Each structure stands twice: as C-alpha cells, then as structure tokens.
Amino acid sequence: MGFSIAISGKGGTGKTTLSAMLVRLLIGKSPQAVLAVDADPNSCLGITLGVEPETTIANLRDDVLKQKIEPGQGIGKLEAFGYACQQSLTEANGFDLLTMGRPEGPSCYCAANNTLRAFLSQLSASYGYVLTDNEAGMEHLSRRTNTDINVLVIVAEPTKVGVVTAHRILELTKSLPMSVGRIGVVWSRSRKQVDLKLDGISVFGTVPYDEAVFELAVEGRSLFELSKDSAAMKAAEGILNRILDN
Ligand SMILES: Nc1ncnc2c1ncn2[C@@H]1O[C@H](COP(=O)(O)OP(=O)(O)O)[C@@H](O)[C@H]1O
Ligand SMILES: [Mg+2]
C-alpha cells in the first residue's frame, strides 16, 4: 500500500496549492510513482500540476448508469466501469492524476461505488505515495471504507476561525470509516509567524503568503514552475519532512 496523505480543510485555505507542492516534492522519494487524487468536486488540482484530465470518475460512473459504457464481450458493466476508471488516469512525469469529479446521477449507486472502492484500494497498492486533495466536508473520505490514511493534514488560515475549524475537522475524523494515523495542522497563507494554541493537534508547519504562488495562480500556471527556493516551496519541504516524520 502506498503511504497515504490526505489534505483537508475549508475551501480557499490553500489545500490545492499545498497538495501540488507536496506532490512535486514526493516525486523521486520512492521507486514507484506518486498518485495524486483530486477528490474535490470542483476539480482544480490538475491546473496546479499542469496536467489536463480527460475525464473524471464521476463522469464514468454517470456513463455506466446511463448505459453509455458498453461492456465488451464476456465482461460485465461493472468490470467495464473498473477498466474505464483505470484508463481515466492522467499520466505525467513522476506522477499520475486521478480526478474524482462531481457525480450528477443518484448518489447511491452501490454496485458502482463498490467497484470504485475496490479499484481505489487496488490502485493505491501500486504507488509509493498517494496524496488526496479533499473537499471541505471530506464527503469522499467518508464514503471510502477500506483504505487507511497514514497522515491527515488539516489546512487552516492562521486565525481564531482557523483554530475553530481545525478542531471541528479533528472531531469529524473520528466518524470516518477508516483508520487515520497522524494528524497535523498547516497554517496557510500566513503573513506573519503566529503562535496559535491548538488542543490535541500538532502543527506540521506554516506556509507563508508567497507572491510568486499568487502570480502563477493568476495565469493558471503549474506550481512546478515555482522556484525551489521560494518561501512557499521551502516551507512545503519542512512540512513534508514532518509529515513523513523524518
Ligand atoms: N502560500 C500562498 N501564497 C499566496 N497565495 C496562495 C498561497 N496558497 C494559496 N494561495 C492562493 O489562494 C487561493 C486559494 O488557494 P487553493 O490552494 O486553491 O485553496 P483550496 O484548495 O483550499 O480551496 C488560490 O488563488 C491560491 O493561488
Ligand atoms: Mg482546492
């Protein structure tokens, strides 16, 4: 099983930005590739990683529901769906991207969901690291039942609101159906060093507000273009060391 890192937090806190920087830093740390999973229905991890996904798991799931996926000879509808999921991986240099997308059909299509779960756990076995950029409510995580999370990163703004939200997310993790290893907060887009008190959660680090990150975002350019010496990349390096417990 690949070492699994899940990124969570409120919308707009910097989850996708941190995810992309961590994916970049994880490449080469294991002989196997890195799997980046965009689990936010408003998928934008691809933009920050400079790759364009052709389709999403949600689209494929809707296709199988609407019978648009024709099972081949001798294979069933679900098998065809599993195969299509595998084909939907976007391959890039040192990493693959899986985009979950936004399902439009009925939320409970249990057979397809089971196939998806089996696919996801099988998939994570062939990567050294699996990093998931989650949506605010972690709905995707709460539907997954069989892949454990090694480290959960809560991205929060360095304010009182951020502190309150981080604690709420910590509470939420107790109801998740899988085991969660270590949990830590990343203070994101900080304009100064802050010393905020958290109760029962450690801090992996602080990503400073970095003009260079903003400049790239304005033009929709990938974070692979960010200088390794930039304040944000340097901070992400320290954070990754804590995540991996080096
Ligand atoms: N460290 C940073 N410095 C400057 N801008 C940042 C930083 N982190 C994120 N941003 C910007 O803030 C906005 C929201 O970040 P994003 O990573 O998309 O948040 P989320 O995924 O949590 O919604 C984006 O425009 C992004 O470029
Ligand atoms: Mg995001």
Tens digit of each residue's pLDDT (9 = 90 or more) over 125-144: 999 999 999 987 777 676 66
- Give residue 94's pLDDT band: very low, low, confident or very high (50, 70, 90): very high
pLDDT digits 0-9 by tens, 227-241: 999 999 999 999 999
Per-residue confidence (pLDDT) for residue 63, from 0 to 100: 84
Question: What average pLDDT does this structure show over 41-68?
Answer: 90
Alpha helices in the chain (DSSP H): 15-26, 45-49, 57-65, 77-87, 110-124, 139-143, 160-173, 211-219, 231-243
The first and second tokens of residue 41, run together, are 């229905």
DSSP-derived 3-state class of residue 159: coil
Question: How is the chain split into domains, by residue range?
Answer: 3-50+89-99+128-243
| Distance between Cα 163 and ligand 1 center (Å) | 18
Ligand 1 close to Cβ of residue 76 (< 6 A): no
Our CA dihedral for 89, 92, 94, 100, rounded to 10 degrees, sits at -30
Is the pLDDT at 116 greater than 90? The verdict is no
Is the pLDDT at 211 greater than 90? The verdict is yes
Residues around the ion ligand 2 (C-beta < 5 A):
15-16
Ligand 1 close to Cβ of residue 138 (< 6 A): no
Ligand 1 close to Cβ of residue 233 (< 6 A): no
Tokens 């998740």 -> residue:
176
Query: Closest ligand 1 atom to the C-alpha of 216?
Result: 27
| Distance between Cα 175 and ligand 1 center (Å) | 28
- Give residue 212's pLDDT band: very low, low, confident or very high (50, 70, 90): very high
Query: Which CATH architecture best describes the domain 3-50+89-99+128-243?
Result: 3-Layer(aba) Sandwich (3.40)
Residue type, 93: N
CA distance 236 to 222: 16
| Distance between Cα 135 and ligand 2 center (Å) | 7
Ligand 1 close to Cβ of residue 39 (< 6 A): no
- Give residue 154's pLDDT band: very low, low, confident or very high (50, 70, 90): very high
| Residue % of the chain over a pLDDT of 70 | 92
